[in-house]
Structure 1
Amino acid sequence: MTDTEDRPLVRLSLERTVYFSDAVIAIAMTLLAIELPVPQGDTSSQLWHSFTEHLGDEYVPFLISFAVIGLFWFQHHRFFQRVDRASGRLLVVNLACLLVVVVVPFATKVLGGPDTAFGVVFYAVVMLSWGAVYTLLVVTAQRDGLWRDDLPAGTGRRMITGAAVALAPFALSIPVAFASPSAAQYVWILAAPASVLAGRVRRPSARARA
């Protein structure tokens, strides 16, 4: 079979990988909400009290994890906008990325457990695991020559740096967790401005585009 005949199969493989990945990520986001407790009570006061009881242990971790998976999806989406073909190694590493995503609902349950360092550290490690497999995804694309031909030089390096910047607050939270698990979770708030900064890091300069 010639290269021309192989090309549709390569394109199909890439498209199926993207569709499958989007479906897995969507299911993971949905699973976050399935076991959220419903406030119980016969009066508005009782319902509000029940809601506030679950706020820190259930609802806030849900919102954090929903935003985190959304960030994962965005990074994953931007990555596959930049590749032009698939490889066996890329498919395997992509499965590793999806493994981290589907672990997030479980990590959210652990986070909502007793107020100990274990839950916070475990959650942060899962986040950093995404950074590791995402970096491997970029390195694989670079090694196998999968980038689109029109990408500026240094694209892979900027993508890795951007992901590291976005996830840095989770790394910083680990030592904080051993002193105060609650304070460590506040460190995660920095992930929002860090993500904005990461977007600027990923954006190529005028010299790189020239």
Structure 2
Amino acid sequence: MNETDAADDLHIEKNRLEALTDGVFGFAMTLLVASLILPRSAVITQTSQQAFFSLVPDFYHYIIGFFVLAAFWIAHHMQFRHVRFIDRPFLFLSCVGLFFVTLVPFSTSFVGDYGDRFSSIVFEVNLLLIGLVFFAQWLYAMHNHRLVAPDHPGHRIRYGLARSLIIPAISVLGILLSLAGFHGSTMVYMLSPLASFGIRKYFGM
């Protein structure tokens, strides 16, 4: 099946999925700021300085949520360039991944408000699911060069798949730390840039 036949069969073009993905990520990243809204009771009972510092946990999780979503979007953009066309399973996986992306503002606000073990696990599981779905998406696309060019370099495929596992691996670590009673387990996401750098060095990218 060539690119035109695949697009006709789906009745959707590759650039439309890209536009949908950009829109969902942009919406989710913008909606994250809603987690920084002060409760009305705080406005009445606290000074501006007290109210500001009461939002520190929310700011912290807002930053994590924003930059993790940014990392997902960048990885998606870089890898999607190599996809020649889309088929139904790829489209389905994309929609499932975007569903979990839209939940990030909720899980970010939830962990910012409560900050306990359960809310941390909810946040970490949310990011884990996004990472696993996107990994499955790229594994499907790259397997036997299903949706990419036949001459697409094997080391680039392995690099893309390894990079797709960074957030899932970090999320699993965070969940284990939460279950062990470690307070502040979401700090593990600060390892993401270091892990990304290490993978780039390993693959010589």
Structure 1: runs of 5+ lacking an equivalent: 205-210
What is the aligned partner in structure 2 of residue 88 from structure 1?
88
Pair 1:65-2:65 in alignment: yes
Q: 1:201 to 1:72 in 2, by over 3 A?
A: farther
Give CA deviations for 1:139-167 in whole Å, capped at 9, x if unaligned: 22134721134421243332121222344
Q: Which amino acid aligns with 1:15?
A: N
Quote the offset at 1:41 in angstroms.
Answer: 6.2
What is the aligned partner in structure 2 of residue 78 from structure 1?
78
Quote the offset at 1:191 in angstroms.
Answer: 1.8
Q: 1:51-130 maps to which residues of 2 (within 5 A)?
A: 51-56=52-57, 58-130=58-130
What is the aligned partner in structure 2 of residue 207 from structure 1?
none
Pair 1:21-2:38 in alignment: no
Q: 1:200 to 1:23 in 2, by over 3 A?
A: farther
Q: 1:18-57 maps to which residues of 2 (within 5 A)?
A: 18-38=18-38, 46-56=47-57
Quote the offset at 1:170 in angstroms.
Answer: 2.0
Q: Counterparts of 2:191 and 2:127 in 1: how far apart (Å)?
A: 14
TM-score for the superposition, normalised by structure 1:
0.81
RMSD: 2.9
Q: Which amino acid aligns with 1:17?
A: L
Q: Counterparts of 2:2 and 2:115 in 1: how far apart (Å)?
A: 58
Give CA deviations for 1:73-99 in whole Å, capped at 9, x if unaligned: 011111211111111111111101111
What is the aligned partner in structure 2 of residue 170 from structure 1?
171
Which one is further off, 180-189 or 97-106? Answer: 180-189
Q: 1:17 to 1:25 in 2, by over 3 A?
A: same
Q: Counterparts of 1:100 and 1:142 in 2: how far apart (Å)?
A: 22
Contact 1:165 1:197 in 2 (8 A): no
Contact 2:141 2:148 in 1 (8 A): yes
Q: Counterparts of 1:148 and 1:3 in 2: how far apart (Å)?
A: 11
Which one is further off, 165-174 or 121-130? Answer: 165-174
SS of the counterpart of 2:36?
coil
Q: Counterparts of 1:96 and 1:8 in 2: how far apart (Å)?
A: 20
Structure 2: runs of 5+ lacking an equivalent: none
Contact 1:166 1:197 in 2 (8 A): no
Contact 1:162 1:202 in 2 (8 A): no
SS of the counterpart of 2:184?
helix
Q: 1:177-192 maps to which residues of 2 (within 5 A)?
A: 177-192=178-193
Quote the offset at 1:199 in angstroms.
Answer: 3.7
Contact 1:161 1:202 in 2 (8 A): no
Q: Which amino acid aligns with 1:163?
A: S
Contact 1:120 1:181 in 2 (8 A): no
Pair 1:153-2:138 in alignment: no
SS of the counterpart of 1:82?
coil
Q: Which amino acid aligns with 2:112?
A: G
Greater RCO, 1 or 2 (C-alpha within 8 Å, sep 6+): 2
Q: Which amino acid aligns with 1:29?
A: M
